[in-house]
Amino acid sequence: MMLEEQLKKHWYFQYTGGYSVKKNSREIVKSIDYTIELLKDKDNVVLMFPQGKIHSGHNSSIHFEKGIQHIVAECADDAQVLFVANFTDYFSDAKPNLFIYTKKYPAAHLRNKNIDEEYNLFFTSVLNHHKTKIA
């Protein structure tokens, strides 16, 4: 699930199942409903940037768009929500090193919580861990 303008720019994602969401339009409801339908099948996975765009790893706080809370509210209790934070560092190498941190939650755990706050707690925790790991 990606913003319509991003899917146009990166057209090849349509061949991997990518579909668009058009921000600030009535079409967004269709995209959210489509996402909910996809997630009713336990064999499906949906990848998204719920903040609407890719942010720098140096941002101290991430704000998610409202649709993610609605999607999580409609998921099965045992559906998995995976938080991800990626950091790159070059050290003394010519090519960057990629560090990927994840944390898994059942949808039921996030249903009555502020997902922004939960993600930002996760992000702060892994950022602090990452800083001490590379120091």
Task: Tell me the per-residue pLDDT of 62-112, one tens digit each, with 9 for 90 and over.
Answer: 888 888 899 999 999 999 999 999 888 888 889 999 999 999 999 999 998
User: What is the domain extent for residue 71?
Assistant: 52-135
- pLDDT for position 39: 93
The answer to whether residues 28 and 79 belong to one domain is no
Cβ atoms of 72 and 116 within 8 Å: the answer is no
Which of 11, 27, 48 finishes a domain?
Answer: 48
When pLDDT is cut at 50, 70 and 90, the band that residue 23 belongs to is confident
The answer to whether residues 83 and 43 belong to one domain is no
Put residue 108 in one of left, alpha, beta given phi > 0 → left and psi -120 to 50 → alpha. alpha
For the chain, strand residue ranges (E) read: 2-3, 20-21, 80-89, 97-106
